[in-house]
Structure 1
């Protein structure tokens, strides 16, 4: 009788665990993907702002900065908020704040007000990625973290595609002033849903099996001591600078492809405007595929050696960029093949390097500093998205499109070396006791 009761209790607990795993995964995926519905419209309506509101290209560039700069910087400054109030509350409230900041965008005609609203939007969204990452990872065992988070990471790329399509549809049917209103209304409800459904294991009293135990320290303590963790404390942790540099390199490469590839295809390879626009999504489609599959490859073929596997995949992205440049005159098939390769092996590692890897690194010391560390790594990397525009513009003006590709190849190679260095540091520091990332 007791054995039967124990079996029934175990089955019930496993059923509850599966329910929360699915609900948190789905809720987090949809909610984070929706954040792009309040990022992508700015690129869609730039031509309208220039034509109807007489904004100069310089002012349009400053609007980009208003959104992207606080997104990068505030991840590093506000990171401890998620560790203090919890992933569910922080993520849900930030989604709602992001929506409220942009819901009235179309009702103003002032550059200054638009700048302020975009700044608030970037600040609110800065805490979405660190907290959704911590919230999702908390529900899965260490043995499948890369696989599950690789699948989850597709939300960042699918969200970008969906956000653009929605903005284009609203612009065409309701005018540019409504491109933020409808998505913002929807995101308010998604934020409320997140507050309800994005539960964490400690909130519902579930112990997730297969998770390596970590030494628990009081909330607000330092990474390895009793003081409140500071950004400098986190930065001084082994491997965090190397992982941050790798994320920086990968994000510069990715956003360069997003922002400049259509113009390159049009001017350098003589694609038509329509073909350039369609082909430019190949890199992003590769990103969705790579994010979904690379996590599974790491868990199967690089178990206990995540950083080594990631470094190998980043190297493949570098090779893809080299082959794309060398075969650029060979036609659409080869262009598509190597750009898809570059995108797949850039995006998949990027998602893991600013998600599972920093979480695992810091959780060995203090599980309550995970959100801050993820914010630090992703925030440092996101600085690259803020500065790639002026840098690429200057390089192409001085050295042409070839110079741009040399820079992208160099940055991708640097990302490979930085990841390998992090892996070697981990093996040296942790060789006697652990194999959770680098192995022995």
Structure 2
């Protein structure tokens, strides 16, 4: 235990001031990005009440956002490996801020749709370049810890966005939940223009060659050497068994974003949690999401970063929670709240495996931005399905039907996780050990 604590304290001991500054800028960049995307979830009950929109209309709005987000992830992922990260990042934040300003001053549903759909494309320009930047600024052993900190940025951004949007919607109306975060992000984008650097000017410290660290550095796909021949796109997708990963990530996105978008609405429609008393949920959910990330990180350390084993276990938990929500969710409001918070916690803990850990482990292939973009694309393909279908099912049937939809998605993810587990055992998955020759 003492040795592990010493290693954690020394992890960034050889980092320069510029490296730590870049980590801080990337961390805050994604927090500010969340201010411009999760604000809609909290504002939905107020928007429905003041504007008279239905769950089907709002669900379609969120699905179209995720649709443009997924398409943009492919484009920005491809471009991110060839272009400098700074222009993509600053452009994405500026465009997202302008879209939020458009939502704030929209005069009807068409303008709200247009601005929020474009916001999905703007948001897609952020994660891939951020991950590529970090892969250039930190070496292999450091990136394991960096992925943990970036996972915390999504949770912190989630909490800040929900808290700020809830406060503004209650005090100043739902439009303030869009224009004030946009102003804050415009100021932060100016700071990025001054301080952000896409690549380091000097070579990284050779920490992965220090005694004791090389043996612990995360490996990927048969433990490749630092220099790996560049594969064609289709060969690369086959090498990482992307169809199976796509199903797992899409299931995770469908459940996570489905619960995240509709949880405030479920609670307000229950009558037990009025729109102006969601502070309790806003306090508990980010803490539970943080607990989920910490839980998954601990599992990964114990399993030696074996993604197959951990994802298999996590999807068992997700499917079990979704099954309980479907079969027992109609009894009272407290049990669905507990189960949906549990689903959010586990799915948020699972996300960094896809969006940070595996792309970092595959950095030797020179496609970090593309890999991060592909996983985000997969996650938000599921999210795009979740928004519209969940909204339509809740209007046409009941929330129990929505819970069944989430359960089916979790079951598909579990089946994919079983397949990925067997690939891991054969030494063909990221983070697994190569098979020994007999």
Per the normalisation by structure 2, the TM-score is 0.78
Gaps of 5+ in 2: 1-11, 209-216, 220-224
Deviation at 1:138, TM superposition (A): 4.2
CA separation of 1:342/1:164 partners in 2, compared to 1, >3 Å: closer, same or farther? closer
Aligned counterpart in structure 2 of residue 437 of structure 1, from 425, 432, 435: 432
Aligned residues: 409
Which whole-Å deviations, capped at 9, do the CAs of 1:223-278 have from their partners, x for residues lacking one? 515xxx4xx5654443222112111101111122223445555778x745479946
Residues 154 and 292 in structure 1, CA contact (< 8 A), matched pair in contact too: no
Structure-1 separation of matches of 2:285 and 2:313: 19
Give the match's secondary structure for 2:426. helix
Counterpart for residue 252 of structure 1: 254
Counterpart for residue 7 of structure 1: none
Counterpart for residue 157 of structure 1: 155
Counterpart for residue 357 of structure 1: 358
Deviation at 1:415, TM superposition (A): 1.9
Higher relative contact order (CA 8 A, sep 6+): 2
Deviation at 1:113, TM superposition (A): 3.8
Residues 79 and 372 in structure 1, CA contact (< 8 A), matched pair in contact too: yes
Structure-1 separation of matches of 2:106 and 2:127: 29
Which whole-Å deviations, capped at 9, do the CAs of 1:26-45 have from their partners, x for residues lacking one? 22121101112212333444
Structure-1 separation of matches of 2:338 and 2:250: 25
Give the match's secondary structure for 2:89. helix
CA separation of 1:242/1:188 partners in 2, compared to 1, >3 Å: closer, same or farther? same
Structure-2 separation of matches of 1:142 and 1:224: 21
Aligned counterpart in structure 2 of residue 25 of structure 1, from 23, 26, 39: 23
Q: How does 1:311-350 map to 2 (within 5 A)?
A: 311-323=312-324, 338-350=339-351
Counterpart for residue 387 of structure 1: 385
Which whole-Å deviations, capped at 9, do the CAs of 1:55-104 have from their partners, x for residues lacking one? 66665445434432211221123321111113344223322232234335
Aligned counterpart in structure 2 of residue 372 of structure 1, from 370, 382, 385: 370
Counterpart for residue 292 of structure 2: 290
Deviation at 1:394, TM superposition (A): 5.3
Which whole-Å deviations, capped at 9, do the CAs of 1:171-219 have from their partners, x for residues lacking one? 44444444333322221232233344444564443245226753267xx
CA separation of 1:422/1:196 partners in 2, compared to 1, >3 Å: closer, same or farther? farther
Which whole-Å deviations, capped at 9, do the CAs of 1:12-56 have from their partners, x for residues lacking one? xx8662434432222212110111221233344456655666666
Aligned counterpart in structure 1 of residue 231 of structure 2, from 224, 232, 247: 224
Counterpart for residue 167 of structure 1: 165
Structure-2 separation of matches of 1:174 and 1:266: 19
Residues 267 and 333 in structure 2, CA contact (< 8 A), matched pair in contact too: no
